[in-house]
Amino acid sequence: MKVIITGATGMVGKGVLLECLDHQDVEEALVIGRNPLEMQHPKLKEIIHKDFSDFSALSDELKDYDACFFCMGVSSVGMKEAEYKKVTYDYTIALAKVLYKNNPDLTFTYVSGEGTDSTEKGRSMWARVKGKTENDLINMGFKQAFMFRPGAIIPLRGIKSRTKGYQFMYDYFMWLVKLIKALAPNSVVNTTQVGLAMINSVQYGYSTTILRPKDIIALSNIQ
């Protein structure tokens, strides 16, 4: 399969990329980003694209792909709703529209978050924006669309979070995350499980569109 990945410089996206590069069924991983990854691999292709509000110029280069793993995201801390919506909703939908035009049979997987508001009417700004993003992706018409709501994620393979607050938590409170994982194994996922679940979603599908930690773990274990 040929896949497109966004957010590959972030914790989740890098984890997904590494699993794709290692997986025997992935023949090509195209990363779209603003800056080069500074890594090389026979399966890896890169497109440096500065304007994430408009992907129309890349239309011809984004044909004949089987999946898009949209892992790009930002924390809403300190952001006003209009700014957060631009980065979270507008950028995602801009790419999705171009991909749907070229690849209606593509599987689109979006990294959302626990607590996302599917009603789009709640008090939490980030949850409403994420909810609208999820809803519009689900209704766009792709062959498959999966919304990953992983909650707490354990980074593996030496991956670090680019968000200082998250990395602080991992540096000083990973013991707590691991304790929660030990007490409730289906409540916490790791970056490898997220990557494998995305790959398996293309190949095997899944029974529900919105995947929470237990679903991500289950899907990652399919062989």
Express each pLDDT in 90-107 by its tens digit: 999 999 999 999 999 999
Specify whether the CB–CB gap between 148 and 217 falls below 8 A: no
Residue 125 has pLDDT above 80, yes or no: yes
Share of the chain above pLDDT 70, in %: 87
List of domains in the chain: 2-220 (3.40.50.720)
pLDDT of amino acid 65:
97
Torsion sign (Cα): 37, 13, 91, 139: positive
Buried b or exposed e, range 114-151, using 16+ CB within 10 angstroms:
eebbbebeeeeebbbbbbbbbbbbbeeebeebbbbbbe
pLDDT of amino acid 129:
97
